[in-house]
Amino acid sequence: MAILKILQYPDERLHTVAIPVAQVTDQIRSLIKDMTETMYAAPGIGLAATQVDVHERIIVIDTSETRDELLVLINPEIIASNGLSDYEEGCLSVPGIYGKVRRAESVTVKALNAQGESFVLDADGLLAVCIQHEMDHLAGKVFVEYWSKLKQSRTLARLKKKQRSTM
Ligand code: K1U
Ligand code: ZN
């Protein structure tokens, strides 16, 4: 297994639209293991393949307190959604920046697991937020891009200042 490098906003590669996984092979399973190790090490509650510069539709998530309830979503599709809620989000690709995003309160998602089997999952709360956040990564969208242009440019300035101070 390996810890992968996580792309940092505003890296243009975060805007790449991921393509569906054609077949769940051992190579895909090996990538899933590396993504899982990377997510737990970060630490994070989710990671999309886009964030490690792989542009295929793969997500790993673990929102449990015990960090032992891994969820793998390959080729995820939201087939139903309900309600709206605002949640304070963070992102491993935008370290140190947190802010609210309005998303569906609950979602039903259809996906393949690491064995290539199809399943359907109903999610609400943090899990629903995380699924939508990670699916945005696969579509090339970063959570700060829901904010006003003014808030986005202030965020970029803060990130650049932080980067300068760690050089
Ligand atoms: O996509 C990512 O960058 C991962 C991101 C997921 C996420 C967090 C909060 C709301 C929506 C989506 C993170 O995991 S940021 C880190 C984080 O929230 C966290 C880390 C350790 C323990 C608990 C939370
Ligand atoms: Zn993110």
Average pLDDT, integer, range 74-98: 98
pLDDT of residue 167: 67
Say how far apart CA 138 and CA 50 lie, in whole Å: 6
Query: What average pLDDT does the chain have?
Result: 97
101: closest CA among 128, 74, 140?
128
Question: Residues with Cβ within 6 A of ligand 1?
Answer: 43-47, 89-93, 129-130, 133-134, 137
Please provide the DSSP assignment of 103-152 as one string.
Answer: E-SEEEEEEE-TTS-EEEEEEEHHHHHHHHHHHHHHTT--GGGGS-HHHH
What is the CA angle 14-15-18, rounded to 5? 90
φ and ψ of 86, to 5 deg: -100, 130
Instruction: Tell which one of 91, 105, 127, 134 to mutate to probe ligand 1, the residue whose CB is within 8 A of the most ligand atoms.
Output: 91
Query: Judging by DSSP bridges, how do beta strands 85-89 and 118-124 pair with one another?
Result: unpaired
Residue 81 scores a pLDDT above 90: yes
pLDDT of residue 162: 86
Cα 87 to ligand 2 centroid, rounded to whole Å: 14
Could you read off the pLDDT of 6-18 as tens digits, one per residue?
A: 999 999 999 999 9
Residue 105 catalytic? Answer: no
Could you read off the pLDDT of 107-152 as tens digits, one per residue?
A: 999 999 999 999 999 999 999 999 999 999 999 999 999 999 999 9
